[in-house]
A and B are shown apart, each in its own frame.
Chain A
């Protein structure tokens, strides 16, 4: 029994996810494009589209499914219960947002000239990878600093997604993905309000 659903253009968005990471290696400024992955799901869910982005257009989810299922890289074991709990999901979202705020503050310090540009990509909020092979002098240092910070966020979350893909089920990342948690929260609030008003 196989799924014979005809493939559509949006079934190939995993390619965009791969391309994003590759472009960031060649020029870190491409990291700014990652803002689309932040804004589109939020705009969709705030305008009543629910989790349409996660369900149909998330390139990372597709990439993890492709690697886990088609390339057989996943152990396909259930996730531990604590990782599926609301506490963990919202706790991870809070942690992620705090680290994101920290990154924005660093960008602000570079924008205002207090700090100089730090050409590193920070993996898992800890490990600093020197990333200084690209000339970013044609943009203000703050613009480049945001790109380094944002690429760090995207690379870190990709690595976490890959680790849980291997350890558990292919799309385990989708359970604790901060964007997914946010859009699910927004959709739940909207749904509960709708039910109350009926």
Chain B
């Protein structure tokens, strides 16, 4: 088996700039985002599939896609 290690991108919210409007929560297909006490949004990295929908929808454009998790991909 020919395997390759690849970094998977996950959504990351820049907390100090987030106004907690909740747009990302509504559009996330995996329910991976939560608003913490009405202050900022937080992404559950285990649930995030890196689809970028939240990053595109965020009105403040403060959700970044960050290479977070190393995944093993079978390239056979």
Contacts and interface: CB of A to CB of B under 8 A. Distances in A.
Interface string A43-68: 00100011110111000010001000
Contacts of B51: 1
A112 interface: no
Contact of B21 (A49, A175, A188): A175
B65 interface: no
Given A54-B22, A174-B21, A180-B21, A169 B37 contact: no
Contacts of A17: none
Interface string B19-50: 11111011111010001111100000000000
A55 B61 contact: no
A170 B61 CA distance: 12
Contacts of B39: 50, 184, 187-188, 191
- Size range of the chain A interface in the assembly: 35 or more
A70 interface: no
B66 interface: no
Interface string A169-181: 1111011000011
A78 interface: yes
Contacts of B23: 61, 65, 171, 174
A51 B22 contact: yes
B57 interface: yes
Contact of A79 (B21, B29, B61): B61
Contacts of B22: 51, 54-56
Given A170-B59, A191-B37, A55 B29 contact: no
B53 interface: yes
B29 A169 contact: no
The 4 closest A-B pairs by CB, nearest first: A50-B38, A55-B22, A187-B38, A51-B38
Given A175-B21, A175-B59, A183-B38, 5 more contacts: A54-B22, A61-B21, A65-B26, A69-B57, A84-B17
